[in-house]
Chains A and B, each alone.
Chain A
Amino acid sequence: MTTIYPGTLMAASAYHRPSTLPDALALLRDAAPAILAGATDLYPARAAAEAWMRQGPERPILDITGIAALRGIAHGPEGTRIGAAVTWAEIRDAARLPPAFDGLRAAAREVGGAQVQNRATVLGNLCNASPAADGAPPLLALGACVEVASAARGTRTLPLAAFILGNRRTALAPDELATALLVPSQSPTARGGVLKLGARSHLVISIAMAAGVIDTRSGRVTAARLAVGACSPVAQRLLQAEAAILGQPADPEALAAAILPRHLGPLAPIDDVRATAAYRRHAALVLLRRLVAGLAGADTRREAA
């Protein structure tokens, strides 16, 4: 029996799974396909549309998971390169990431369930550009950039904050593919973390997420990057909050107290089914304070040991 299911009508020729990047970029230039990686955002969006018979026109598909050059996590003097085909599970299980990546790894453990982690890509999470994308805050805190390629213009690199432009909007041109995340090399003493808040324990979209990477030397904060997700159309770095703790003694309680409501200026939370805007603003502050206290506490504990 051959039942053809909604959303699967396209001819075989409209699905492309090239094995090289140039082939992929040529396709992108010539066929205006939709890009597919782990498919964990693409299929749910289809299911929602199909349920009310609002499925869009069929587009050809460019599946990028067969491209060897997009695979793997590589470490070099410049930093860490995370290919576009790298899944959340690969980040979660990676053996060689420095402690600054602990936040990204913690986020990886909480994106969906294991099935989603096993197939969903980190870069797909950013390209999908949901306000609640759990990849954005920890990668902002790592100072990550996105490498983008096209057949016509070669490669360019954008800071993450310039890559995600708004709710479901990125800086990608129609002929461009995001090829990698570039994370600058991190201080070996820097620590990263995230705190994710949701209304159940697994499979939950964040009500708010706080992420940070903090470095301390001789008991003082020498570097700090903090970001909050799900409280604005795009996750935000909080420069004022970072400034408030920079140079301060790495005392957990004092650092937490140094972060003030007015430092959350860039956030613009909304009311939705998960929470109210006022609650999100409040929760973001609580999470940030706990996060910096935890990161500083971990450092204090390590130095004492």
Chain B
Amino acid sequence: MNAMPPATTALTVNGAEHRIAAAPMTRLSAVLRDQCGLTGTKVGCEAGDCGACTVLIDGVQACACLVPLGQVADAAVTTVEGLAADPLGAALQRSFLAHGAAQCGICTPGMLLAAMDLLARTPAPDEAQVQAALGGVLCRCTGYRKIIEAVMDAHRHAPLPAPPQTGAAVGARMVRADGAARVAGTALYGDDAAPADALHLRCIRSPHAHARFTIGDLGPLLARHPGLVRVLTAADVPGRNGFGIYADIKDQPVFAEGLVRYRGDAVCALVGDAATLAAIRAEDLPIAWQPLPAHATPAEALGGAPVQDRWADNVLTTGRVVSGNLEAGFAAAAHVVEGEWRTGFVEHAYIEPEAGYAVRVGDRIEVHCSTQAPAMDREEVAGVLGLPMEAVRIVPTACGGGFGGKLDAGIQPMLALAAWITGRPVRCALPRAESMASSTKRHPAAIAARAACDASGRLTAFAFDGTYDTGAYASWGPTVAGRVPVHAMGPYRVPAVNARARAVFTHNPPSGAFRGFGVPQAAIAQEALWDRLADALGMDRLEFRLLNALRPGNTTATGQRLEHSVGLVECLDALRPRWQALRAEAAAANARGGALRHGVGIACMWYGIGNTGMSNPSTMRITLDAAGRLVFWNGAVDIGQGSTTVLLQIAVDALGLPAAAFDQVMGDTDLTEDAGKTSASRQTFVSGRAAQEAGAALRRAILRRANAGDDAPLRLEGTRLHAGEAVLDLAALDAPLEGVGRFDPPTVPLDADGQGIPYATYGFAAQVAALAVDTDLGTVTLKRIVAAHDVGRTINPTLVEGQIHGGIAQGIGLALMEEYLPGRTENLHDYLIPTVGDVPPIECILVEAAEPLGPYGAKGIGEPALVPTAPAILSAIRDATGAEITRVPALPHRVLEAMSR
């Protein structure tokens, strides 16, 4: 009987023999990452739900987090690091690059291995086979379509596409500049690179939505556990025990002081070695809880006891836009419609949970972390530690998805505090449930809206009142409340508007930034009203929107005259043939009868690029030194959306040297200028313009020094720079040549009535969704989505399509399946996001109504892609069945209920 397995376990990984000294129940994922140093295998949940840890065991795909080491003794394991050695693996990796199948890249290793399992047996699979093989790996970025294409194409063993020529980089399908590391599994994410001697940090969080607590004597706990180095509490915070997005609202404590305000609120943190932390149980901690009544909804909070004393009425902010004569608009109308809508909490569900490490370097602190906003993190850490800004360095790691959820300071302040106090490096990676419980969410909204049009279909009045559940702390609540009323009427001419949005505190998780800042919720109400008006008029739903669409020269409800780059009419015109064809197909399918009813829906959106009526500059720098090294100092964080590549393409054309000549230094706050946060769809527009200026400035400097003409072509050969006929000997430079570009989009703050110029430019879009509803079960099957987006100028079509696909996938989740319920859907099997089988074929139509302020005419795409999807789906459900869905997600039982109303 072999009850005593050998002290070490033999394992072959990527052809190499390993003898692993670890407990047999150690998860294979931990063995690979920690013992073999193969961090290409990612961990997103440790529960089999995300598939990021997928590896091959004897050629068959398995979740490494579900496999005990003892079970794989003598087995052969293949990880992403071993793929390139196999020609098929290498071909698959190239196919992923060529198709843009990796965005943030955190799901990529798992996707590649799941695909290898299939391709080894079925070299040229069809789509259904690919879906069955990849069904266990979640991707939050890509919408899966490009992944499917990449897998189906791998058998062609195609070479990588050549990089674009200088002067033709803008507009080219250039392969991601950071792509190779992502498909190789060598990109280092938040949990991949901590020093070997780092201590671990485990945050203790409130299991209650609202409670008082006291922490007793920690001495006995520390004495019992020699590996427990320190327990950090609020008393240890040397600076300000609070962080938050706004300079005057630092209301979220690093560690709560006697009172917790949501399930997940941080109470204290254990710092020690991993084994010790793993052994400590909640009941071992000397914390006494006294639960208090909690406000579960804004309705309960309004008029209830304050969540935070500073806001007695629990209203954080109210945003308002008022224009025209509303009463007259409704009075004169031929048709008036109204309704109420509700949406729930939506979780970002980035596949990489919050992770990073901090290290004290003398009198400075460094935090290496997965973040969307290094410059903001720097301010927060400095404030919490009571240090000058210069003493804090933030080094962004590769970011495995953000979508707004990694804009808040998250674990950075407590990591910094732990390293500062202990003097040792300290690391932390949140377990999935803790990430979901503690991080920000999309605001749930309760919306009442009313709209009217005249007999010809022209909109006359629009009233909107939105109550947004902002949770326990402010986070981005003011931004949401400010942005929503500006966008609430959508991209239409409405002469009379009264729109109000309130952010209301509750004892829920803080609602923050999530792709669209409250606008996707508003669009659900607004677009549903247009469908009802169009029906009341007997007018085609697309034509109704076209009739009322904003055009160049129109004035918005904030009093802003839009001169340029208003491409909604072009979007709708481009969609019309597809709209009509899909409607005809649906009608033909419905004529055949049966329980399936087919429908087609449409929705439009606009989206202001950058901060609302506020400065949000970006600075980019490019240098060329005496060694011939061309460096792009780029402070914009690429969270998968592609700014590293897009900004490079812009710089290539502005400067006139090829992409291969550039080195990029990214994000590091010691080395790069503040590019602003990666949010509000602003990096292409704002940092892109700064990159264009920087490239042009360096070009001018070169040409001046070389005494060459404006259009002289540049060529870099070692330290010799050719500018047309002239040659510059870089080795003779006493200081590097430099080009710096800065751009801050011109805006005018909104006044009390919401009048002003909130954004310098807007993205526009319209999407059509075709689907079938099973009228017996209420289930929805998406057939196709056609998306027309005015992006100003397409810098990289593959990346733009990738953003559209990914935004649509998240819109599908919002519409049909995603609902975060604190304590109940705190994992990725109860909280459902779309899988590879839930995203239908997507057609992208790119409209280019150039924005004169933007780089080469470009605007943004990150958030616009998501906004119209949910309303288009709901419009299609209504078209198919007549059911008005007023509550999302439209789970099957809700659809059935709506059908019977």
* Contact surface of A with B, Cβ cutoff 8 Å: 1-13, 15-20, 23, 26-27, 36, 38-40, 43-44, 47-48, 50-55, 61, 63, 65, 89, 109, 112-116, 118-119, 197, 199-205, 207, 273-276, 278-279, 282-283, 286-287
Contact = CB atoms under 8 A, between A and B. Distances in A.
Contact of A199 (B134, B282, B837, B891): B891
Contacts of B897: 279
A276 B838 CA distance: 23
Best-buried of B7, B133, B138, B776 by chain A (most CB within 10 Å) = B776
Given A44-B47, A202-B136, 5 more contacts: A2-B35, A6-B277, A17-B70, A53-B282, A115-B66
A47 B136 contact: no
B71 A65 contact: yes
Contacts of B63: 40, 115-116, 119
Nearest to A24: B1
Contacts of B46: 43-44, 47
B135 A273 contact: no
A3 B274 contact: yes
26 contacts: A3-B34, A3-B274, A5-B274, A8-B26, A9-B275, A10-B23, A13-B3, A15-B24, A17-B2, A18-B2, A43-B46, A43-B66, A51-B434, A54-B282, A61-B24, A113-B137, A115-B61, A115-B63, A199-B891, A201-B836, A201-B837, A273-B821, A275-B893, A276-B893, A282-B896, A286-B776
Best-buried of B23, B274, B277, B821 by chain A (most CB within 10 Å) = B23
Given A115-B136, A202-B135, A282-B896, A63 B68 contact: yes
Interface string B47-87: 11101001000001111011110110000000000000000
A209 B131 CA distance: 22
A266 to B, nearest CB: 21
Nearest to A275: B893
B133 A114 contact: yes
A197 B282 CA distance: 37
A273 B889 CA distance: 11
A13 B282 CA distance: 27
B48 A40 contact: yes
A118 B821 contact: no
A48 B24 CA distance: 20
A17 B49 CA distance: 26
A151 B284 CA distance: 38
B114 interface: yes
B117 interface: yes
Contacts of B829: 44, 203, 205
Contact of B824 (A20, A197, A273, A286): A273
Q: Dominant SS at the B interface?
A: loop
B831 to A, nearest CB: 9
Nearest to B823: A52
A51 B280 CA distance: 12
B433 A47 contact: yes
Contacts of B67: 39, 119
Contact of B70 (A15, A43, A275): A15
Contacts of A6: 274, 277-278
Contacts of B274: 3-6
Best-buried of B47, B60, B135, B280 by chain A (most CB within 10 Å) = B135
B34 A2 contact: yes
Given A5-B274, A47-B432, A114-B61, A52 B133 contact: no
Given A52-B207, A65-B71, A114-B135, A275 B891 contact: yes
A202 B893 CA distance: 19
A204 B892 CA distance: 14
Interface of B: 1-5, 7, 21-27, 30, 34-35, 37, 45-49, 51, 54, 60-63, 65-68, 70-71, 114, 117, 131-138, 196, 202, 204, 207, 274-275, 277-282, 431-434, 776-779, 816-817, 819, 821, 824-827, 829-830, 832, 834-838, 891-893, 896-897
A44 B433 CA distance: 11
B825 A279 contact: no
A223 to B, nearest CB: 27
A54 B283 CA distance: 8
Contacts of A273: 819, 821, 824-825, 830
Contact of B23 (A12, A54, A282): A12
B49 A203 contact: yes
A204 B48 CA distance: 12
A113 B23 contact: no
Q: Dominant SS at the A interface?
A: loop
B47 A48 contact: yes
A211 B450 CA distance: 47
B432 A51 contact: yes
Contact of B25 (A7, A23, A201): A7
A50 B278 contact: yes
B71 A63 contact: yes
A5 B897 CA distance: 46
- Of all A-B residue pairs in the complex, the 9 with the closest CB atoms, nearest first, are A113-B136, A201-B837, A202-B135, A51-B433, A279-B893, A6-B278, A44-B47, A15-B24, A53-B282
B723 to A, nearest CB: 51
B70 A63 contact: yes
Contact of B62 (A11, A50, A115, A274): A115
A53 B432 contact: no
Contacts of A3: 30, 34, 274
Given A114-B114, A279-B896, A2 B22 contact: yes
B225 to A, nearest CB: 13
A16 B24 CA distance: 9
B135 A113 contact: yes
B136 A8 contact: no
B897 to A, nearest CB: 8
A16 B278 CA distance: 22
Contacts of B834: 200
B836 A202 contact: yes
Contacts of B117: 114
A174 to B, nearest CB: 19
Contacts of B24: 12, 15, 17, 61
B830 to A, nearest CB: 6
Contact of B5 (A15, A40, A119): A15
Given A43-B47, A200-B837, A8 B34 contact: no
Contact of B114 (A19, A65, A115): A115
B196 A286 contact: no
A8 B817 CA distance: 34
Nearest to A38: B66
B3 A18 contact: yes
Contacts of B777: 197, 283, 286-287
A10 to B, nearest CB: 6
Contact of A203 (B114, B136, B275, B824): B136
Contacts of B35: 1-2
Nearest to B65: A43
Contacts of A48: 47, 433, 827
Contact of B132 (A11, A40, A51, A109): A109
B41 to A, nearest CB: 13
Contact of A47 (B278, B431, B824): B431
A112 B138 CA distance: 12
Contact of A115 (B34, B54, B891): B54
A286 B777 CA distance: 7
A88 to B, nearest CB: 12
Nearest to A110: B135
A2 B62 CA distance: 23
Contacts of B196: 1
A172 to B, nearest CB: 22
Contacts of A4: 22-23, 26, 274-275, 278
A120 to B, nearest CB: 9
A2 B21 contact: yes
Given A39-B67, A43-B65, A112 B48 contact: yes
Contacts of A8: 22-23, 25-27, 30, 278
A19 B3 CA distance: 10
Contacts of A55: 278, 281
